[in-house]
Amino acid sequence: MSEDLLTNVESKDPVALQSDRPEAAGDNRGQSPLKQKEGAGACSDSDEMFEHFRMVVDKGQEPVRIDKYIADHQEDTSRNRVQQAIKLGYVLVNDKVVKANYIVRPLDVVKFVMPYERRGTEILPENIPLDIVYEDDDVLVVNKPAGMVVHPGHGNYNGTLVNALAYYLHLSPDVEDERMGVLVHRIDKDTSGLLVIAKNPAAQLNLADQFFVHSIDRIYTAVVWGNITEDEGTIQGTIGRDPNDRLRFRVYDDPDKGKWAVTHWRVLERLGFITVVECRLETGRTHQIRVHMSSIGHPLFNDERYGGSEIRQGTIYAKYKQFIQNCFALCPRQALHARTLGFTHPKTGERLHFEVPLPEDMSALIEKWRNYIQSN
């Protein structure tokens, strides 16, 4: 692993970085977030799959192995998990990769990243077809269909993208298999579109770093309720879990209640009671586009969790209600597609750009609305 992969991860305390608000960090797109505000601990309310940490060893620290030091100073992190991270080259001291038997010294600067912990779920390889857009020895880009969960979790232990990858890449079902750390980011089950997968630890860590400094290009196409009168805009604010429904997120004014999130949007087509928009992510929070568009009164079409699966615009009469129900049946999920993905190749340094067309359900939905507008 390249020794400079983590040199941009900075914090004053041994905690995961929670926020990259511009007032704390400056405009750090593609740059090192050297002065980002620290958070109170890591959580997985993000589409990225890594926690980033930095800690400085105390002046009075007694000699101790690096694995024990990290485990003792990082909450909810087992020594075994730390050892796995060290084995993969995810731990650096003074910007150099170290082994588990390294003895920390006063004022050592320890930097490391860890994949969000898998709760002991066994990964069973499954022969599930993958729509592969690009592949080489280091990365794999796939076009995920709507309805496929990215990784196993509560209620979804098979049929996931990770199960498919385990089969395709000939990975062991052992959850501790170091090669299972192939995911770098994720998208929702009912969102379709592009994902990049790392095929080795060095590529995984390099891509995780690109996500962390916001140098990854991600553009989505969404169908939202309502006629957006402006041509473009930016939504920003802190996104955190809704205390009344742990499966939902919301925008908060209080910066301590979540993570800073920025979405840039642009109108592509106005179709009466709905609008087709392009959304470019500057940050990657869970449900970010769904939460942000709902927060400005334009929830995604047929997004049940955020109020888009009911009639939000138009006159309530039988014929129109039937039309909307037909639209919901045509696209039975939130109308959101990860259309574009761009990143720097972790080995060659070449800038790669990929784009996939809208899936059939969203294309048919938009066409149905075009015909409705023309006939009314």
pLDDT for 123-140, tens place per residue? Answer: 789 999 999 999 999 999
Rounded (5°) CA angle 183-294-155 = 40
Within this chain, domains 15-42+50-115 and 218-375 share the same CATH topology: no
> Is position 174 annotated as part of the catalytic site?
no
Sequence-ordered strand ranges (E) for the chain: 15-16, 50-56, 64-65, 91-93, 96-97, 103-104, 109-115, 132-135, 139-144, 192-198, 217-225, 232-242, 245-252, 259-271, 274-281, 336-344, 351-355
* pLDDT tens column, 27-52: 333 332 222 223 223 334 666 666 77
Average pLDDT over every residue of 49-73:
86
Q: Tell me which CATH homologous superfamily contains domain 15-42+50-115.
A: RNA-binding S4 domain (3.10.290.10)
pLDDT value, residue 38: 30
pLDDT value, residue 48: 66
Q: Tell me which CATH homologous superfamily contains domain 218-375.
A: Pseudouridine synthase (3.30.2350.10)
In a 10 Å sphere around its CB, with 0-12 CB exposed, 13-18 middle and 19+ buried, how is residue 198 labelled? buried
Q: Which of 47, 108, 188, 190 is catalytic?
A: 188
* CATH classification (class only), 132-209: alpha beta
Pick the range with the lowest mean pLDDT from 149-153, 242-246, 280-284, 293-297. Answer: 149-153
pLDDT exceeds 80 at position 81? no
Selected residue with higher pLDDT from 77 and 125: 125
Q: Does the predicted TM-score (pTM) go above 0.85?
A: no
Query: Three-state DSSP class for 236?
Result: strand
Average pLDDT value for the chain: 82
Q: Where are the domains of the chain?
A: 15-42+50-115, 132-209, 218-375
pLDDT exceeds 90 at position 24? no
Selected residue with higher pLDDT from 210 and 142: 142
* pLDDT tens column, 206-241: 888 888 888 999 999 999 999 999 999 999 999 999
